[in-house]
């Protein structure tokens, strides 16, 4: 039973570019949350998707957007990349309103 | 607003020592949930425990134990007889029951190094 799968595992982008990160939830899960974890800090909530809609959003600018597909997989898009966007981006899946989160290993994004 | 503070950024112990990781939280809600996660070098967050605000019973799971005290807004985590495999970053997190997406607010983490 596969857990949460994130791709790519590592990514290097140039300032000003756009990036798309992908997440496949654990089998049986229908909700996907995204977190940003800067080096040496705790994860910060970006947003959560359920039934293909954004259910809750953290304190992140509109440059961060997302999408959830009918198969429950999700994408995180970041436009106009800044050096400060360099971080580990974690995806967590769960079922409905439960707290049974399963986290992926993340995508390490480096903006140069 | 909810906030979690882990004052210990890094702890180093020798194998078999007991170690306690501190967590202090702030919330205005009366119903909330507290969590501990372990983050090994591979990056994924591994769930350890969840407690709700109405259950102040301490919990023990093998070498792990948790002390929840609402009076001091603390939810501390103790590892007894630490092992090298316990080396990781540990995060305490809080979620208020009234937030639509079950958003987790994490502390800054405590890096635990267990030396042989």
Average pLDDT over residues B84-112: 92
Q: Would you say B37 and B112 are in contact if contact means Cβ atoms under 8 Å apart?
A: no
Q: What is the mean pLDDT of chain A?
A: 95
As separate numbers, helices (DSSP H) first and strands (DSSP E) second, chain B gives 0, 12
Work out the pLDDT band at A2, boundaries 50, 70, 90.
Answer: low
CA B14 to chain A, closest CA, distance in angstroms equals 23
Contact A45 B102 (CB under 8 A): no
Does pLDDT of A39 surpass 70? yes
The whole-angstrom separation of Cα A65 and Cα B111 is 31
Work out the pLDDT band at A82, boundaries 50, 70, 90.
Answer: very high
Q: What is the mean pLDDT of chain B?
A: 94
CA distance readout (Å), A10 to A22, A47, A85, A108, B20: 12, 21, 14, 5, 34
Q: pLDDT tens across B29-78, in order?
A: 999 999 999 999 988 999 999 999 998 888 889 999 999 999 999 999 99
Average pLDDT over residues A45-53: 94
Helix, strand, coil % (nearest 5) of chain A?
5, 50, 45
Does pLDDT of A1 surpass 90? no
Q: Would you say A46 and A61 are in contact if contact means Cβ atoms under 8 Å apart?
A: no
CB < 8 Å to A105, chain B: 42-44
What pLDDT sits at residue B98? 77
- Residues of B at the A interface, defined by Cβ within 8 angstroms: 4, 6, 33, 35, 37, 42-47, 50, 91, 93, 95, 99-109
- Residue of B24, B96, B102, B104 best to disrupt the A interface, most CBs of A under 10 A: B102
Does pLDDT of A98 surpass 70? yes
Report strand pairing: A107-111 vs A10-13.
parallel
* Lowest mean pLDDT, pick from A37-51, B6-20, B91-105: B91-105
Work out the pLDDT band at B99, boundaries 50, 70, 90.
Answer: confident
């Amino acid at each position: 039973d596969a857990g949460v799968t994130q791709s790519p595992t590592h990514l290097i982008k140039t300032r000003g570019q756009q990036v798309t990160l992908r997440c496949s939830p654990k089998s049986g899960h229908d909700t996907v949350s995204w977190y940003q974890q800067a080096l040496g800090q705790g994860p910060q909530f970006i947003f959560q998707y359920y039934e293909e809609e954004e259910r809750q959003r953290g304190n992140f600018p509109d440059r961060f957007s997302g999408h959830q597909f009918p198969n429950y997989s999700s994408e995180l898009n970041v436009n106009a990349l800044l050096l400060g966007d360099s971080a580990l981006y974690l995806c967590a899946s769960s079922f409905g309103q439960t707290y049974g989160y399963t986290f992926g290993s993340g995508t390490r994004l480096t903006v140069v | 607003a909810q906030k979690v503070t882990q004052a210990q950024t890094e702890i180093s112990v020798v194998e078999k020592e007991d170690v306690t990781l501190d967590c202090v939280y702030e919330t205005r809600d009366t119903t909330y949930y507290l969590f501990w996660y372990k983050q090994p070098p591979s990056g994924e967050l591994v769930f350890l425990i969840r407690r709700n605000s109405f259950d102040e019973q301490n919990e023990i799971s093998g070498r792990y134990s948790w002390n929840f005290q609402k009076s001091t807004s603390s939810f501390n985590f103790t590892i007894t007889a630490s092992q090298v495999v316990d080396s990781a970053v540990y995060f305490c997190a809080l979620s208020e029951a009234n937030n639509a997406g079950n958003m987790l607010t994490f502390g800054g983490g405590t890096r635990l190094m267990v030396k042989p």
